[in-house]
Structure 1
Amino acid sequence: MRSLQDASASWQDLKQYKNLKDLQEAVRLDGGHSSPAASSGLRSACWKTFLLFDSVDTVTWPKTLASSRSAYNSLRMHFLSQLDNQDELSDLMDDEADSATWTAIRKDEELRAEIQQDVDRCMPENLYFRQPDTQRTLLDILVSVSSKRV
């Protein structure tokens, strides 16, 4: 794992790019060689920038991050609350269960099991992806996004 000083230096390197196009050019692979931006520890910052932000102006990022995290938390509560509370749900559903609700719950469980299999296979050589907290986070994110799209 990188030191805090190395991580801070990488984030400072990000400031040299004036717009998204410059950053995209910097991370583009040339002839199979790793780009300077990716090899200098900016890979995670680049992914976050391309996926979440409209600019490389980090002043605007906290508001966008807060909004994005809030949206994820809402999705997580909506799609994962049933799966997280299986015992309570089955007590409630015993008396008043309709087949459509149970069918939806079983479909969600199957999706979660399939995604769990993929998470278990994700980068087995990297200890970070073997950590239970990391696997749980990946599973929750992927289930939430997949459920939203189904």
Structure 2
Amino acid sequence: MSAARLYQPRRRKLSLTALIDVVFILLMFFMLTSSFDQWRAVDLQTEPKSSATNQKNLQQDAQYLYLSATGDLQLREAEAVKASITSLTPLLNLIDGKRPLILLPEETARVQLLVMALDEFKNAGLSRVTLGEVVPASRDAY
């Protein structure tokens, strides 16, 4: 027999238990410390409950803005002018900042579009934006 065969070290099996425990602990740490959503508050005004005459005056004085399901905005007073949520410039020239603005979302519009529109109006400096009632997809009744 040769000396190399006598002293040949045995192969040890690696235990993966410790490695799996470390990976599991790291996974739990990153899952618990990370956040995938940014939670923040959205300022939302609703129409005040008042007498019928005050309500009628508010509705006559207000500007109505439609929000479609595709994200297009259209002022009732200027039906020909449309703008998207990301570019409000054509509408900002037509909106009177002294009169209240009532946003009327279409019934199939997503809530995310509504929140984006409210954020853009806030960034543009319009503070009197009120959420109105939901409008049907065919606005012939309005």
Q: TM-score, normalised by structure 2?
A: 0.25
Between Structure 1 and Structure 2, whose CA radius of gyration is higher? 2
Structure having the higher helix fraction is 1
Structure with more strand by fraction: 2
Tell me the TM-score normalized by structure 1: 0.24
